[in-house]
Amino acid sequence: MTRITFVGGGNMARSLIGGLLKTGMAASSISVAEPLAEARQSLGREFAVACYAENRPAAAEAEVIVLAVKPQIMPAIGNELRDSLQRNRPLLISIAAGVRLDQLARWFGSGLPIVRCMPNTPALIGAGATGLCANGRVSPAQKAQAQHILDAAGITRWVDDEALMDTVTAISGSGPAYFFALVEALEEAAVAQGLPRETARALASQTCLGAGRMLVEGGEDPAVLRQRVTSPNGTTQAALESFAADRLGHVVARAVAAATGRGVALAAELDKGAHA
């Protein structure tokens, strides 16, 4: 079995570990480096994986290292692990938003096979959507390894052009927040019309869940599904015309562009911090 070390034992690491164990991976093949004692104890109890307070012993024998830490501390982690990684040459998988492949190579040492990916919070319930991008040193077998790890928490899609990873972040990484904002807005609108809040929330949430399942499980174009719901001169058409008048498509496009731009800026800020 492949030996995997997670550097960072937060929610996303927990979701991936849980998913991997469900696929049949042995707990003895997984290690976690986590500085917080309470988190280590929780991981050990729940998953029976080896937990370490420090990164070096956890990563010493790993064939795959998953970097599940905040972008801001990535340079320090790289400085700590660089020598060990240069000796062992494991596959490096980063799930940190906005951190580029060239930055990872600079911090952790050149010549490493690196996969950059962007999962999202529905991975916590096995319903994630992850974009992945690899550098030129990642072999086909290592790509399959990375995909297997992220598939444990949902669906995965490879992106050839790394510049598009900021768009992936804007769509799937940040996307759950857009969905929650829509449900909030539907709830508030229904309450304003007189529905009790509990009823408004239940109906809005279940409606969005059902629509999402129809879209994913049916595999049909969202435009086709939208048209089926929309009767001529009916209530749905009235609402959609209101959306169109308020330029919903433009609003969404601007929001995605803003999130994409922020991803680019985050990477630039990390470069500045590393050279400060």
How do the domains of the chain map onto residue ranges?
Answer: 4-169, 173-263
- Judge residue 246's burial from the number of C-beta atoms within 10 Å of its C-beta, 0-12 exposed, 13-18 middle, 19 or more buried: exposed
pLDDT digits (tens, 9 = 90+) for 237-258: 999 999 999 999 999 999 999 9
Average confidence (pLDDT) over 18-41: 94
Looking at residue 219, what is its pLDDT? 87
Helix (H, G, I), strand (E, B) or coil at 54: coil
Closest CA to 253 of 181, 184, 180, 178: 178
Percent of the chain past pLDDT 90, that is, above it, reads 85
Phi, psi of 274 (to 5 degrees): -70, -25
Beta bridge pairs of residue 51: 32
What is the residue whose two structure tokens read 């972040």? 169
170: which DSSP letter? I
Whether the Cβ atoms of residue 63 and residue 3 lie closer than 8 Å to each other: yes
**Two tokens, residue 240:** 């959609």
Percent of the chain past pLDDT 70, that is, above it, reads 98
pLDDT digits (tens, 9 = 90+) for 171-199: 999 999 999 999 999 999 999 999 999 99
Of residues 273 and 268, the one with the higher pLDDT is: 268
What's the CATH fold of domain 173-263? ProC C-terminal domain-like fold (1.10.3730)
- By DSSP bridging, strand 114-118 and strand 128-134 are antiparallel
Q: Span 4-169: which CATH code?
A: 3.40.50.720
- Judge residue 168's burial from the number of C-beta atoms within 10 Å of its C-beta, 0-12 exposed, 13-18 middle, 19 or more buried: buried
169: which DSSP letter? I
Tell me how far apart the alpha carbons of residues 243 and 257 are, in angstroms, rounded to a whole number: 20
Cβ neighbour number for residue 54 with a 10 Å cutoff: 11
Q: How confident is the model at residue 1 (pLDDT cuts 50, 70, 90)?
A: low
Q: Where are the beta strands (DSSP E) in 34-90?
A: 50-52, 64-67
Looking at residue 276, what is its pLDDT? 53
Q: How confident is the model at residue 266 (pLDDT cuts 50, 70, 90)?
A: confident
Whether the Cβ atoms of residue 215 and residue 228 lie closer than 8 Å to each other: no
* Model confidence, pTM: 0.88
Quote the mean pLDDT of the chain.
93
Whether the Cβ atoms of residue 55 and residue 80 lie closer than 8 Å to each other: yes
CA dihedral 26, 24, 67, 120 (to 10 degrees): -150
Closest CA to 46 of 15, 68, 69, 24: 15
Q: Which residues of 144-158 are buried (b: 16+ CB within 10 A; e: fewer)?
A: ebbbbbbbbbbebee
